Every structure is written in structure tokens, then in C-alpha cells.
Amino acid sequence: MKTKKRVLGLGNAFPKFEKTAVVSMEPGKEFATISSEDLKGKWFVMFWWPKDFTFVCPTEIESFNNNYEEFAKRDAVLLGASTDSEFVHLAWRRDHPGLNKLQFPMIADTSKSLANELGILEPTEGIAYRATFIVDPEGIIRWANLNDLSVGRNVHEVIRVLEALQTGELTPCDWEPGQPTLQV
């Protein structure tokens, strides 16, 4: 699947969407609809992985889950997504012990429409790159990061950037949460 879209980046509005997601392992409550309307007025972080039932992806998903409270402390909604179906997501959660207690939704972009609008579809296989977006309460992308398919991302860096953005201040190189911001 070829895409001619460029990756949406800083200053762009995050696309409107409505997708099915896996939100629970409880029978009858596994699925919910998640939409951009649900996120209005909130910071959110959406991270994408290429494929379920692979090797690097669960390490990232587990790390985001292990740091879920760090996002919650910053009043940021955490969302995971791939182009796999909600049924594949659910089967993977049931099959992989590190995924059965996820605290965030696994969005299914089976039509690939959201990944395409974001410009993050890998052109040969039509799967999503390892993309991460931090979006402000006005729905504007404030940070976008793409990794090669073979390289896992650093969840602590996502948290650091989120907190830096939320300060509304200038932060110097190598700034860490708790350190002073630049006073001009």
C-alpha cells in the first residue's frame, strides 16, 4: 500500500477519528469506541506499533503500560494503536502475559485511514511505523517522533517531552523534569 502523504508534524491539527479499541479482558466488555471527540480539551499521547504478535512491539507496549501512572499524573490520556483489528489485539492480549493487564486502549485502525492521514504508513507493507504523537488540549500536534521498524522507542523520553511541553516554558538541552526552566 503506497501512501503519498507526508507525516503530520508540529502545529498540525490531529485528524478527527472514531475507532474500535480493546479496553478490557472482561467478557462482553472487551471493546469500546474511541474518538477524537473523547479527547477534546485533554493532552494525549498516541503511540503506534507495526504489528501484533511480533517481538519489539510488546516490549514497547509493556513499557508504556509500566509508566501509565506517569502519563496519568500529567493528565495525559495514553492510547496505543496499530493497523491490526480489534480481534487480533484481543487475541494478542490474551496470548501475551505482559499485555493482559493494559491500562490504556489498543486502537484498531483496520481501514488504515488514521495512519494514512497521519502519514505514518510504511509504503511496502502498509503497516504503521513506530510513531508517537503528543497532542495538546486544542488538538494540535506538539511533538511527533518516528522510529524505524526495527528500533524500539524510549518511553521515558516521551514522558520528558510531555512534561517539558506542559511547562509552557523554555527548557534547555538535556532538561529533566524537576529542573528549572530557562528564564529570559
Report the catalytic residues.
Answer: 57
- Where helices occur in 30-112 by DSSP H, the ranges are 56-66, 68-73, 86-95
Let me know: does 128 contact 1? Beta carbons within 8 Å: no
Exposure string over 85-120, b if 16+ CB within 10 A, otherwise e: ebebbbebbeeeeebeebebbbbbbeebebbbbbbb
171 vs 131: CA distance, rounded Å: 23
48 vs 54: CA distance, rounded Å: 13
